[in-house]
Amino acid sequence: MEDNNVRIDKWLWAARFFKTRSLAADAVDRGRVRIGGEPVKPARNVKVNDKIFIDNGSDRWEVIVAAISGTRGPAPVARTLYFETDESIAKRENDKTARRLFPEPSADIKGRPTKRDRRAMTRVGEE
């Protein structure tokens, strides 16, 4: 499990923050992953005690690397690779509550409206 030369994209995939390694590499390229507040490249090696900021689109984490692994294993093993900071846990809980209490208005819309839906919208507009 201990290997000192593991790339950040491979570690993010092994820690199960991203479903595929290519998604992890894309996130790193786009600047959604930072080590110590600095943007990095996918080939950057991860070290124990690195503070990593991760934004995978739906959630944001601030974690401290506890162990290094380049192989993807079961989720309980992946949880041992990092420690999430207390501020990160509180922020994610607040975000989760906000999403539940104030849902996105467009979340109810499922694709293109049907003919029946369009007629109902025009009826509302005429009144």
Q: In this structure, what are the phi and psi dihedrals at residue 125, rounded to the nearest 5 degrees? A: -70, -30
16 close to 75: Cβ distance less than 8 angstroms: yes
pLDDT tens digits, 62-85: 999 999 998 999 999 999 999 999
What does the pLDDT read at residue 127? 65
What does the pLDDT read at residue 2? 52
Task: Give dist(CA 64, CA 74) in Å, integer.
Answer: 20
For the chain, count helices (H), then strands (E).
5, 5
Residues of the chain with pLDDT under 70: 1-3, 107, 127
pTM: predicted TM-score of the whole model, two decimal places:
0.76
Q: How many residues does the chain have?
A: 127
What does the pLDDT read at residue 115? 92
User: HSE on the CB side for 46, CA within 13 Å?
Assistant: 31
